[in-house]
């Protein structure tokens, strides 16, 4: 019996559901962790490979860009091979590259292998989420996807701390090798407990797959990949490239994306499957979720980048202690996200997201005042960051689950593509914002995040309230009515 078929009439989460969801969750965690684990080792890699920092930074940038580049292929790959095969293929490639990258003989080989690993991770994370959305009972989608949101948001918090420990206690190859055992466990569990039976056959809505008679929109895949990569690359290179080159690159990317949007909207051939159908944006709740998740991405990655600097420069913390403020923020996320994901199944995302956004606005505004005065005691800042994590958890978890509650099941793959593109762009903006700030820039960042949280509070009023218990998937209203 498949997981989908195991969704009993009472819509309960069975043991088989839980095993598969846990394995998929581990895989998503590894993919996100891999993007942040290496950041703390860049200085060490510079020395090890006798190179410069502007070269070694491509160990991270190459991974992130490769992960973004494969996103537009997700819809076609899912339609052609099914989410299970896409997931297993991505996980196998991820494990193999994790094993090989630790033996890289030069910085060039290391960057090349990290690009390949980024392509695997870029498929692995969204494929695991698409697959989870297809097997989870619809009445429990908030709980399940909220837990995934927890995994995705906690991994960047754990990454720098774990990376610092591995570099100190072992050597840089263990940044990659340490993930292999968990990857093998996830591979065995999914292969064993999620057989590719009738629930995952072509055209099955339960598998989240569109009609496999559709052919890939090759031009659309190239255009969407090129546009997203151009914008991401421009954002990541601000300060390194001449301003005119940055503007030209970003403008070119936006024009390509505009052309892709126009072409997709005008397409009337049902046999051509676009990598992301922009008509999904007519679902008001989905579009609102994308906007709020973008705010979450800016906030998350902005804080993850700035807090270690604040700990070191503002409070004189050194070594692994520089992760103290990040840990406080992560504790807040851990406390609230599992609770918020469960509660959202009952009361809907709107009240939780509104409360979290208002709370985050207040905390960020308070931190702006405290830090700008340069007199905030460290314990006060720690408590405030725990509260900030709790507030962001109340925003991210219900919003993430709402993406999959309001879209048709067969649109899960395309919905995931849109979600990850938005979060990737937002995360880059968050990191870029920190790059513009000087040693005393924490207060400025907190002020910016307070404004963004207030915007999220306003947007939250467009999210659904209490879900209907009609037994049908709850889908958001379209902007057309």
67-92 burial, b if ≥16 CB within 10 A, otherwise e? bbbbbbbbbbbbbbbbbbebbbbbbe
- What is the C-alpha to C-alpha distance for residues 151 and 342, in angstroms, rounded to an integer? 15
Which two structure tokens, joined as six digits, stand for 2?
């498949």
Per-residue model confidence (pLDDT) at position 220: 84
Q: Rounded to the nearest 5°, which phi and psi values hold at 17? A: -55, -50
- What is the C-alpha to C-alpha distance for residues 438 and 306, in angstroms, rounded to an integer? 10
Domain ranges, ordered by start, for the chain: 1-213, 218-266, 279-481
Per-residue pLDDT reduced to its tens digit, 194-210: 766 444 444 444 344 44
Per-residue model confidence (pLDDT) at position 430: 77
Length of the chain in residues, anyone? 481
**Dihedral sign from CA coordinates of 18, 20, 21, 27:** positive
Residue carrying the six token digits 């569990």: 189
| Region class of 337: left (phi > 0), else alpha (psi between -120 and 50), else beta | alpha
Average pLDDT estimate for 423-448: 75
Residue 162: CB atoms within 10 A of its CB come to: 19
Which two structure tokens, joined as six digits, stand for 189?
């569990």
0.85 exceeded by pTM? no
Confidence class for position 76, pLDDT limits 50, 70, 90: confident
Contacts of residue 351, defined as CB under 8 A and 6 or more positions apart, other chains included, come to 465
Average the pLDDT over each of 160-164, 307-311, 347-351 and give the range with the smallest value: 160-164
Cα angle 141, 415, 90; round to 5: 90
Per-residue pLDDT reduced to its tens digit, 401-429: 888 777 877 777 788 888 888 887 787 77
Per-residue model confidence (pLDDT) at position 1: 37
Q: Is the model more confident about 371 or about 380?
A: 380
Per-residue model confidence (pLDDT) at position 34: 81
- Angle, helices 58-70 vs 107-135, to 10°: value is 40
Longest dimension (CA), the chain: 65
Residue 439: CB atoms within 10 A of its CB come to: 10
- Is pLDDT of 373 > 60? yes
Residue carrying the six token digits 């908030």: 142
Per-residue model confidence (pLDDT) at position 401: 82
Task: Kindly state which CATH superfamily the domain 1-213 is placed in.
Answer: MFS general substrate transporter like domains (1.20.1250.20)
Average pLDDT estimate for 127-132: 83
Residue 440: CB atoms within 10 A of its CB come to: 13
Query: CA 233: distance to chain centroid?
Result: 18
Task: Rank 90-94, 140-144, 312-316 by mean pLDDT and report only the highest.
Answer: 90-94
Q: Do the Cβ atoms of 123 and 75 come closer than 8 Å? A: no
The two counts, helices (H) then strands (E), for the chain are 19, 2
Q: Is the model more confident about 22 or about 458?
A: 458
Per-residue model confidence (pLDDT) at position 289: 92
The H or E element that residue 447 is part of is: helix 442-459
Q: Is the model more confident about 161 or about 243?
A: 243
- What is the C-alpha to C-alpha distance for residues 244 and 237, in angstroms, rounded to an integer? 12
Q: Is the model more confident about 112 or about 31?
A: 112
Q: Is the model more confident about 323 or about 243?
A: 243
CATH architecture of 279-481: Up-down Bundle (1.20)
Per-residue model confidence (pLDDT) at position 195: 64
What CA–CA distances, in Å, run from 262 to 133, 256, 265, 278, 326? Answer: 29, 10, 5, 9, 42
Partners of 283 in the β-ladder? 478
Q: Is the model more confident about 212 or about 85?
A: 85
Confidence class for position 245, pLDDT limits 50, 70, 90: confident
Average pLDDT estimate for 352-359: 96
Domains 1-213 and 279-481 share a fold: yes
Average pLDDT estimate for 227-253: 83
Contacts of residue 333, defined as CB under 8 A and 6 or more positions apart, other chains included, come to 150, 153, 154, 157, 389, 390, 392, 393, 396
Residue 98: CB atoms within 10 A of its CB come to: 23
| Percent of the chain at pLDDT exceeding 90 | 24
Quote the DSSP letter at residue 467.
P
Per-residue model confidence (pLDDT) at position 375: 65
Query: CA 230: distance to chain centroid?
Result: 19
Per-residue model confidence (pLDDT) at position 208: 43
Confidence class for position 270, pLDDT limits 50, 70, 90: low
- What is the C-alpha to C-alpha distance for residues 93 and 86, in angstroms, rounded to an integer? 11
Name the CA dihedral angle for 296, 28, 330, 311, rounded to a multiple of 10 degrees.
Answer: -90
């Amino acid at each position: 019996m498949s997981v989908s078929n195991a969704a009993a009439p009472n819509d309960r989460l069975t043991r088989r559901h839980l095993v598969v969801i846990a394995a998929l969750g581990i895989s998503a965690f590894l993919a996100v962790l891999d993007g942040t684990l290496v950041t703390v080792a860049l200085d060490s890699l510079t020395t090890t490979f006798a190179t410069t920092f502007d070269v070694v930074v491509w160990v991270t940038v190459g991974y992130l860009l490769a992960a973004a580049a494969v996103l537009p292929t997700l819809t076609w790959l899912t339609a052609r091979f099914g989410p299970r095969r896409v997931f297993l293929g991505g996980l196998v490639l991820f494990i193999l590259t994790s094993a090989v990258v630790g033996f890289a003989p030069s910085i060039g080989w290391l960057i090349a292998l990290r690009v390949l690993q980024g392509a695997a991770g870029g498929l692995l994370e969204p494929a695991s989420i698409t697959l989870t959305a297809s097997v989870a009972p619809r009445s429990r989608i908030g709980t399940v996807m909220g837990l995934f949101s927890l995994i995705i948001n906690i991994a960047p918090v754990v990454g720098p701390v774990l990376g610092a420990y591995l570099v100190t206690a072992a050597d840089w190859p263990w940044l990659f090798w340490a993930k292999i055992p968990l990857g093998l466990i996830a591979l065995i569990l999914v292969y064993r407990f999620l057989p590719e039976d009738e629930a995952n056959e072509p055209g099955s809505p339960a598998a989240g797959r569109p009609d496999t008679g559709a052919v890939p929109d090759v031009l659309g895949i190239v255009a969407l990949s090129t546009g997203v990569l151009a914008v991401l690359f421009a954002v990541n290179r601000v300060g390194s490239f001449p301003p005119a080159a940055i503007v030209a690159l970003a403008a070119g990317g936006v024009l390509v994306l505009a052309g892709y949007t126009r072409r997709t909207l005008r397409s009337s051939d049902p046999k051509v499957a676009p990598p992301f159908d922009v008509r999904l944006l007519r679902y008001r709740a989905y579009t609102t979720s994308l906007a709020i998740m973008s705010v979450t991405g800016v906030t998350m990655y902005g804080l993850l980048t700035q807090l270690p600097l604040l700990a070191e420069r503002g409070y004189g913390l050194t070594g692994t202690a520089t992760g103290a403020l990040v840990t406080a923020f992560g504790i807040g996320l851990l406390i609230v996200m599992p609770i918020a994901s469960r509660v959202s199944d009952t009361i809907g995302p709107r009240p939780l997201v509104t409360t979290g956004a208002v709370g985050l606005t207040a905390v960020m505004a308070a931190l702006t005042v405290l830090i700008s005065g340069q007199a905030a005691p460290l314990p006060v800042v720690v408590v405030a960051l725990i509260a900030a994590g709790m507030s962001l958890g109340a925003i991210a978890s219900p919003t993430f689950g709402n993406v999959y509650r309001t879209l048709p099941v067969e649109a899960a793959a395309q919905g995931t593509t849109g979600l990850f593109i938005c979060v990737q762009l937002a995360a880059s903006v968050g990191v870029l914002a920190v790059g513009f700030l000087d040693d005393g820039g924490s207060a400025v960042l907190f002020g910016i995040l307070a404004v963004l949280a207030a915007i999220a509070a306003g947007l939250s009023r467009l999210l659904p309230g209490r879900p209907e218990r009609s037994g049908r998937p709850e889908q958001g209203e379209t902007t057309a009515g």
